[in-house]
Structure 1
Amino acid sequence: MENHRMRIFSPSIFLTLLFPLLFLLSHSTGAAPVGVCYGRVATNLPPPSAVISLLKSNGISRIRLFNPDPDALAPFWGTGIKLVIGVPNEILPTLANGTVATSNNG
């Protein structure tokens, strides 16, 4: 009789453990944030304020800028949009050597 009960309860224990596991797995595979590349080498580009509005209206929260252009960076401050900034190839050796470039504004 005890052996019969074990067979009856085994599937229920299995299902009791399976459903929470499936629930956790289904919620851990949620949608990832969408990002786009924001190129600035073209004609007739919209102003950064229009680009920011377009990104936000489409739920885009991350962008990549190919060059660290201050005119392109400044409008994104305080928007909540995360930036990845590319480094021009000619600057890579300086970064690889660990030297810091400074400018004399005096």
Structure 2
Amino acid sequence: MFTLFLRYPLYFGSLQGVSSLGINYGQLGNNLLPPEKVLDLLSALRITKARIYDNPQVLTAFANSGVELMVTIENAMLGQLSNPQAAFQWVTSHIKPYVPATKITSIAVGNEVFTDDDTTVLHSNLVPAMVSIQGALAQLGLDQYIKLSTPCSLAVLQESYPPSAG
């Protein structure tokens, strides 16, 4: 992803009429830049939003940066986080310590759950996990600042072209 930005900096630097630009900041790969360098790169490219997987180093590095973060919970965690106590513990240890210094604006619960092969288990855990996490955010007074969502693949659409048909 960052290779694209490095090859075409003029393109990304010349976007006009765009109020904000965001990226999906993945952590899988070799020779990844440290989070502090990534933050410098995002700032240089005027990128103001990023989606990350739960990573304490990134959350710490992005403190006081102004970059809005969406923290993603992996699909494998949905069953565990369906339990309200587990969800409260997760929010208490993975989100609360970083707020308000790190601008966490949303939590993505799962990733493309509706396109996974293990549909019965994931589908049955998604809504309960979201309810439990929302309850934990409310208990901690964070529900007015941090919203929940679940990313969906475009594959969930029967017809996606033209866009008006989906």
Q: Please give the range of the TM-score, normalised by the shorter of the 2 chains.
A: 0.5 to 0.7
* Equivalent residue number for residue 55 of structure 1: 42
Q: Which amino acid aligns with 1:96?
A: S
Q: Percent identity?
A: 32
TM-score, scaled to structure 2: 0.40
Q: Aligned match of 2:77 in 88, 91, 98?
A: 91
TM-score, scaled to structure 1: 0.60
* Equivalent residue number for residue 12 of structure 1: none
Structure 2 CA distance, aligned partners of 1:77 and 1:53?
Answer: 13
* Equivalent residue number for residue 23 of structure 2: 36
Please list the CA deviations of residues 44-74 of structure 1 after superposition, one character each: whole Å capped at 9, or x if unmatched: 0111111111101111000000x21112211
Structure 1 CA distance, aligned partners of 2:35 and 2:18?
Answer: 27
* Greater Rg over alpha carbons, structure: 1
- How many corresponding residue pairs? 73
Unaligned runs of 5+ in 2: 1-16, 91-166
Instruction: Indicate yes or no: 2:53 matched with 1:73.
Output: no
Q: State the SS of the aligned residue for 2:38.
A: helix
Off by >2 Å, runs of 4+ in structure 1 = 93-103
Please list the CA deviations of residues 64-92 of structure 1 after superposition, one character each: whole Å capped at 9, or x if unmatched: 00x21112211001111110010011221
Q: Which amino acid aligns with 1:73?
A: L
